[in-house]
Amino acid sequence: MPKRDHSSGRSRGRRRLDADDLEWLERTPRFTAADFPDDGPPAGDRWSTWDQSTPTERGPRPHPGWLVTELAAVDTELGVLKTGKEADVHLISRGVPGTDRTCLLAAKRYRSAENRMFHRDTGYLEGRRVRESRMNRAMAKRTAFGRELIAGQWARAEFEALCRLFELGLPVPYPVQILGTEVLQEFVGTADGQAAPRLAAVSEGLDALWEQLVEVMVRLAQEGLAHGDLSAYNLLVHDGRLVVIDLPQIVDVIAHPAGPEFLDRDARNVATWFAAKGVPGADPEALAALLRREARVG
């Protein structure tokens, strides 16, 4: 009930529109959504997502000078670099329109729950259990929610592995940022977007590349780590230098119950490939023994 103004005898409710109000409304132009500009970027496919990641979701400081971090930057999709059963890798140009500030990034996007397989995750996910039993059950049963959780774990594991190895000085792409299940990292290739070849496609300079690889694997073992899925297909060769990629399944060989077996498998995969190419000293058993010694595991 509206309150009564006893001094005037009138209700103090909402004031009715008079003739002047109606005339003003008639003169006021009507606006629709078409009258307002789109909030999208002036060019490209999306605004840079840099400001959407928290400081802990960005790569190690200091950020490299080539990396575009301006909030005015936009991301432009340039195509797909690699497709996989768990994730696809896209080439992105991030730059500030109207300037020469630009960089190329590789965006690894883990697939949506209905399209993702994660055929390899059972062994790798040992020790990655979360606190809530409901989430653990969902991941164990591979429900849609569980697969979404697994995707987040894989993306987070890869980003954290890249950060750790980059800070150790190991040859990995610089981890730019993580946003949900998208891991943005340094593009390894030429300035015109030509990706560096995988080791499997390289036939020259293999002796030097073998020496580099042994050094990298020994350094990993000394940190108690194994790549977990190392092969000639997830090693890039850029300007004569090996670059290790695809790290979501990196294994703590001390904590994981099958840690030493992951060391052995990595050693067998790469040493067998180099031995088949005629590289002297590429002995799977000798490399596996070396890695176990360096990792101090039986």
d(CA 263, CA 167) in angstroms, rounded, equals 22
Helix (H, G, I), strand (E, B) or coil at 136: helix
Nearest to 228 by CA among 279, 161, 169: 161
Q: Please confirm, yes or no, whether 18 is among the known catalytic residues.
A: no
| Cis peptide preceding 280, ω within 30 of 0 | no
Q: Which residues pair with 106 in a beta bridge?
A: 91, 185
Q: Please confirm, yes or no, whether 266 is among the known catalytic residues.
A: no
- Cβ-in-10-Å burial (0-12, 13-18, 19+) of 108 comes to buried
d(CA 121, CA 32) in angstroms, rounded, equals 50
Helix %, strand %, coil % of the chain (to 5) = 35, 20, 45
d(CA 233, CA 229) in angstroms, rounded, equals 10
d(CA 27, CA 14) in angstroms, rounded, equals 23
Residues in the chain: 298
Using the structure block, give the residue that is written with the tokens 């307002």: 36
Nearest to 135 by CA among 127, 147, 126: 147
Pull the structure tokens for residue 29. Answer: 């132009």
Amino acid letter, 154: W
Residue in 121, 246, 264, 266 annotated catalytic: 246
Residue in 75, 121, 229, 264 annotated catalytic: 229
Helix (H, G, I), strand (E, B) or coil at 198: strand
Q: Which residues are catalytic?
A: 229, 246
